[in-house]
Structure 1
């Protein structure tokens, strides 16, 4: 009897041991993760080749064995709902009242907002001088130039960060707040009035008193926040193009719609469990829509470039280079221009500019990546 018991235990052990492999070959994958899995490439000769091949096989198996995603999902659920902590703290930081924030794996964003990864005054001047050179080059082509910084949610909702990270609570008695790279660059840019450098932080902080401007479970602003950003950008552009129509909040209708979780919830594989309370649908009250005429994938990032024809083709031609924050910007800006071109990359494509001959070039970049402006 005892022998049968031991044999049963051994059999169960081996079944559990080989279950992931059997599950993999049967294609049983109940959950999908947003992790990026890379394999080691097989190189070398002889013993080196064999060693690298075994490493490649091990790397692939570790990332793809059967049941792995289900186990990761259970780990994330346990940490988030039971232990009240982030299962991936380097990627997702848990804030107050259900808010999620990008962690330091995304451009050292936390360190930037607590003053541990600042921008030197010299680096800020280098960026400013480079932007000035870009502006002069565009000016020779009769093109106006604008730089739009999309703030991190950490800047707009700092009160929702954990207490130890709240900027406005650091040495509050002394009135001290850590200086962020955006603070340094904005201060430097104030000495370059000829450059249109647009800092949206104060405007969005004011706007959030009326309605949320960012998503709680995502790194991006919501449609309302994007509309506010577009309105500020348009105010700057109307200084050079006074015949452009202003973007006014009262010209739009707002509706609340249920929403799933955003990209940060997705990183934790909890998009269905950690949802937005609601999302904003923003529609113009009167017909004011552009017609999308072309989608291509010519940008260096592989994301599709997009082109619109506006309702009034006599208006200026716009070319916007930007990141994922421009996805919601595209709901609004094209309707105010004769033609619009949106390119998903953080560097200027001078051949595209020469070919399309826009009247205005806008560069949008998220706050945590503003150092990339030196390589524009």
Structure 2
């Protein structure tokens, strides 16, 4: 073999092997965090039963764990973003002046530009779902407030690229707010105007440039609007001292796996400090000796974490949960259901609107389906499935259920489950909720 050929082989081996060799020494000193919304594949185990699938499984594992993976992805994403103004993630849209927007899920860009609207049936269903929540809350003697947080795409619509045409200002959120005002007595807090005014007057970035969420100023404005609904005063944003810091990442930047040095702005508001931003435990409590004595229970999504951390400075007792069952045992004065605009199409909380009582006496076994709150205006269809069978039997079809309950008989010793459907009409054409109960 000629020296030249040997040299080429050595060069190839060096190029191929150097990433693995350098990774061995440096992997603990570089960024290896998983920025993808999925689990990284683990090393597959070879077995006689699945040996034929091992090559494909190992290739998937290798692609997920290749040395310098984050750095290579970041380099590729950076070239797309900075050189070609293109997004390497189909769920991230690059707007004007480097603003990033989310297009996944229900696509809040389409939602906030009026490219998609709700039908009358959609509005009636959503209103019915929220009315169920309101009835359950009121049965506990609590005030109910539906808090709708605007999308970032709604507040910073002018930063969307020219390709995103605004079809109408009457977006899904405005449709729903108007419908609830006209057809229900639900108290609604929709701080759109307050946020737009603060954006214009404060000079702050109310929402994050590289993230889907609002920043501390946006959360403060939302908290102030909610407090005003409860007749609790908070200072104007202009009266609160703000300390600016510059940050380089957000959830949208993470989706692109890029870091943009000092590309975003955050503000700490004196007296209303927020720790960990939109992060938080699934259940949190905040207590202090000053502020309003009204006790708040807040069912939240990611927007509600920062919102509640601001509210803790204005109320003595605040209970916050991502799961509604965490709040069932909380004796509150006000129950706030916080939801971001992009999730407004399905606000069903799955609360225990119905319960089941079983009783056996000399006449046999009776099952009582009981309303736990006022279900006037809702119709129930229920089907029972005895344990150990695949058969479903109708026990109620399009009936109303009071808080006294509706009773039906089953054979002695029978246990099973009830599949229950709730409708806005007796014909079962307008469903709003379903649940499963054991008997």
Gaps of 5+ in 1: 171-176, 239-243, 293-300
Q: Cα deviations across residues 19-69 of structure 1 (Å, max 9, x unaligned)?
A: 44445555537334512344389799855x223443332221101111222
- Residues 1-376 of structure 1 correspond to what in structure 2 (within 5 A)? 3-23=2-22, 25-26=24-25, 28=27, 30-32=30-32, 34-35=35-36, 36-39=38-41, 49-88=50-89, 90-102=90-102, 104-167=103-166, 170=167, 177=168, 179-211=170-202, 212-238=205-231, 244-249=232-237, 251-273=239-261, 275-276=263-264, 278-284=265-271, 303-312=281-290, 315-343=293-321, 345=322, 347-349=323-325, 352-376=326-350
3-state SS of the aligned residue for 2:328? helix
C-alpha deviation, 1:306, in angstroms: 1.8
C-alpha deviation, 1:206, in angstroms: 1.9
C-alpha deviation, 1:117, in angstroms: 4.3
Paired residues of 1:41 and 1:52 also in contact (CA < 8 A)? no
Paired residues of 1:40 and 1:55 also in contact (CA < 8 A)? no
Q: How many Å separate the matches in 2 of 1:186 and 1:18?
A: 61
Distance 1:121 1:51, change over 3 A: farther
Q: TM-score, normalised by structure 1?
A: 0.80
Q: How many Å separate the matches in 1 of 2:99 and 2:197?
A: 19
Q: Cα deviations across residues 152-206 of structure 1 (Å, max 9, x unaligned)?
A: 1110111110012142xx5xxxxxx175332332232122341012222222112
3-state SS of the aligned residue for 2:67? coil
Distance 1:26 1:201, change over 3 A: same
The structure whose residues are more often strand, as a share, is: 2
Q: Cα deviations across residues 84-112 of structure 1 (Å, max 9, x unaligned)?
A: 22232x2321111221112x224422333
Q: Cα deviations across residues 345-369 of structure 1 (Å, max 9, x unaligned)?
A: 2x522xx333221111111121111
Paired residues of 1:254 and 1:281 also in contact (CA < 8 A)? yes
Distance 1:120 1:21, change over 3 A: farther
Paired residues of 2:70 and 2:257 also in contact (CA < 8 A)? no
Paired residues of 1:159 and 1:166 also in contact (CA < 8 A)? no
Q: How many Å separate the matches in 2 of 1:69 and 1:312?
A: 47
3-state SS of the aligned residue for 1:317? strand
Paired residues of 2:189 and 2:226 also in contact (CA < 8 A)? yes
Q: How many Å separate the matches in 2 of 1:43 and 1:187?
A: 57
Gaps of 5+ in 2: 351-439
Paired residues of 1:230 and 1:332 also in contact (CA < 8 A)? yes
C-alpha deviation, 1:305, in angstroms: 2.1
For this pair of structures, how many residues does the alignment match? 342
C-alpha deviation, 1:135, in angstroms: 0.7
> Which of these two proteins has the greater Rg computed from alpha carbons?
2
The structure whose residues are more often helix, as a share, is: 1
Q: Which runs of 4+ in 1 moved over 6 A?
A: 40-45
Distance 1:214 1:273, change over 3 A: same
Paired residues of 1:143 and 1:358 also in contact (CA < 8 A)? yes
Distance 1:41 1:258, change over 3 A: closer
Paired residues of 2:112 and 2:151 also in contact (CA < 8 A)? no
CA-based RMSD: 3.1
Paired residues of 1:308 and 1:339 also in contact (CA < 8 A)? yes
- More contact order relative to length (CA 8 Å, sep ≥ 6): 1
Distance 1:94 1:250, change over 3 A: closer
Q: Which moved more, 1:134-143 or 1:248-257?
A: 248-257
- Determine the structure 2 residue equivalent to 1:298: none
